[in-house]
Structure 1
Amino acid sequence: MILWTLFPAVLLVALVMTGGLRRYALARSIIDIPNERSSHSVPTPRGGGVAIVVAFLLSLPVFASQSLLPGNLIWALVGTGSMIALLGFLDDHGHVAARWRLLGHFLGSAWALFCLGGIPPLHAFGLDIDFGGFGYVLALFYFVWLLNLYNFMDGIDGLASVEAICVCLGGVVLYVISHHFEQSYAALALACAVAGFLFWNFPPARIFMGDAGSGFLGVALAILSLQAAWVDSALFAGWLILLGVFVVDATVTLIRRLLRGEKVYEAHRSHAYQHASRQLGSHKPVTMAVLLINVLWLFPLACMAVSGWLDGGVALVIAYLPLVLLAIKFRSGMPG
């Protein structure tokens, strides 16, 4: 009974706390002011993602007390999540130099990898792949990239929240399909925390997530996806498929900006979702389109990969290819 009252409690804590953070941000003038690189036109409070962090992390001791989640997963989420959220909080309230932020990202990710044990052998395209020691390096960059791309993709109302909820709830279903439901509690709690925040962030947003929330979500999803790989290789493919919209848009944008010789660490508004929101004149249609892509395209393919109907690697290619074409259509990585 305690467990099933926990999830509504997580949602309620995030909901109420976000409202409090909005008042705090307004009182302290912690406001995102629109500029030429912004995708919004109205000054809006930021930093509401702290509510997601607090609500979710408060649930972990309950899971630990009931032995419902592996100890190494809890330590990874608490240690790395707290560090990344704190770094983002400091950046939201002032400015942390890019080099120090990146160092913190690598250190936090290294702690999570230490807890999880790197990447296990994976099965894809009919092959068993053992990364050995190189797996730690690969996983480290996977964590840092997912953490940062989630920050890059948190640029229009409701988008990052809807994506996180879709990925987490999709992950819960994948655990059910693979008969590992006991592994799903963290993903379900994270979805509830984000849902509480989404009440305030749905278009038109009354508060933004801020770096504390977006960075935390990125690294939390990286941790949950890699931990899933230790449960079943197909589950990792399923999580990667569910993350497809953000991974593809951010990666295509990065590659195209690099090819043009741009300074990729500078703020911009050249992601496909940003171009789309300007073309449509509103954030809501883009956020809802991402919801539909997740539910109608990526989720079924992730289920096929986990159920064994499709090889995980093949399902990943099928899932990503149309997303790449869609990103190119909406001028991902191009100026203007």
Structure 2
Amino acid sequence: MTYILDITTAFAVSFLMALLIIVTQRFHGVLTLDGDHGVQKIHASPTPRIGGIALLAGGVAAGFLLAPETQKLWWTICLCAIPAFGSGVIEDLTKKVGAKWRLLATVLAGLIFCLVTGYRLERADILGLDFLLTYPAFGIALSAFVIGGVANALNIIDGVNGLASGSAIIILSGFAVLAGQAGDGEMLSICLVMIGAIAGFFVLNFPAGRIFFGDAGAYATGFVLAVIGIILPLRNPEFSPLIALLALSYPIIETLVSIYRRTRREGTNPGEADRLHLHSLVYRYRAKRLADLLGRPNLRNSLTSVILWSLTLIATTFMVLGAHSPFVLVLGGAFVFWLYTLLYRRVALLGPLRKFWRTRRHIHPGE
């Protein structure tokens, strides 16, 4: 019954706050609306981008209902997340916080978490890295970097309705299953609070897109996902620490591919936005075809998320089934990477690359 109350309270408060933001947007829109102009913008009209406030409200309200020991851990996580959440809120309101500063803020949040709680990566089930992790300073530094990286990775896939928040709910559900299997009530409660808080926002974001997660929502959620991914195997050593790497493999792969792509393209840098993320390509080609086939072109945005949730669902399923086996987790990660590259190549050949070769044949018909 306690678990039901936790998730229900988080959902209800988050939903009501998100609804309040939507109905009052004419009063705060000058600061909070996300315009429809920009390289990555695909929504039709300005929309509130402070869904992270709803997430915060749901998480805080449900936090007061947690058991005393769980409250202590939950409030510590929340307080440590302030630099990540705060930098996101400032960016959502001003649109003037550079990507480097936001990355530093999320890494700082990770560093504070490690120093305050004592939790850090102590093993990775990776030969060589496990030796380095025996040195606390290295473990703390790597943990802070990983937490900051995951927070930014989730923000990168936050480009269509429900993709980041839906993926987070799937991952948290997997973590909750493992916590339940291990009898770790504290971690189970925290997972359920986060699921409820995200879901309250989600029902107003998907499929209609009446409110957006914003940087604050994405960074805070990514931070908590990374933190849970570190804490869960530390508290329950029967689980491999690779569980988080697999569960978060889609946003992590997207981030690494984006960095590689931008460093290879002339005139771009790793922090520069572009329209070549997997979700951008799926939206422009695969989802468009599917929406047209269904006779519902307005579902193009949400169908993109439905297609790409499969990557996170497959990764999380592998995680739950193989949580005790590093070999299964690595195999699952390799499979998700193969699926990602296969899908990326398919949608890329439908769009930019096909147009490129058509242009070359038109200009040089003899080739």
Give the unaligned 5+ runs of structure 2: 289-299, 356-367
Is the aligned partner of 1:327 residue 2:344? yes
Separation (CA, whole Å) in 2 of partners of 1:162 and 1:292: 11
One-letter amino acid matched to 2:270:
V
Instruction: Tell me the equivalent position of 1:163.
Output: 167
Instruction: Tell me the equivalent position of 1:110.
Output: 111
- Structure having the higher Rg: 2
Shift of 1:170: 1.2
Structure 1 range deviating more: 184-193 or 28-37: 28-37
One-letter amino acid matched to 1:326:
L
Instruction: Tell me the equivalent position of 1:277.
Output: 283
Q: CA offsets per residue over residues 61-88 of structure 1, 9 Å max, x none?
A: 43352x236x4x4354122223322221
Instruction: Tell me the equivalent position of 1:258.
Output: 263
Q: CA offsets per residue over residues 43-71 of structure 1, 9 Å max, x none?
A: 22221221112211333343352x236x4
Q: CA offsets per residue over residues 205-246 of structure 1, 9 Å max, x none?
A: 111111111111111111111112312453532232222222
Structure 1 range deviating more: 305-314 or 40-49: 305-314
Shift of 1:148: 1.2
Contact kept? 1:116, 1:227, Cα under 8 Å: no
**Between Structure 1 and Structure 2, how many residues are aligned?**
331
SS in 2 for 1:123: coil
Separation (CA, whole Å) in 2 of partners of 1:129 and 1:323: 31
TM-score normalised per structure 1: 0.88
SS in 2 for 1:11: helix
Shift of 1:113: 1.7
* CA distance 1:283–1:318, change in 2 (3 Å): same
* CA distance 1:223–1:17, change in 2 (3 Å): same
Instruction: Tell me the equivalent position of 2:25.
Output: 25
Contact kept? 2:6, 2:189, Cα under 8 Å: no
- The share of aligned pairs that are identical, in percent, is 22
Separation (CA, whole Å) in 2 of partners of 1:44 and 1:182: 36
Structure 1 range deviating more: 171-180 or 142-151: 171-180
Shift of 1:328: 4.0
| 1:139-178 aligned within 5 A | 139-178=143-182
SS in 1 for 2:9: helix
One-letter amino acid matched to 2:140:
Y
Separation (CA, whole Å) in 2 of partners of 1:129 and 1:178: 27
| 1:286-301 aligned within 5 A | 286-295=304-313, 297-301=314-318
* CA distance 1:313–1:208, change in 2 (3 Å): same
Is the aligned partner of 1:13 residue 2:18? no
* CA distance 1:68–1:109, change in 2 (3 Å): closer
Separation (CA, whole Å) in 2 of partners of 1:235 and 1:185: 21
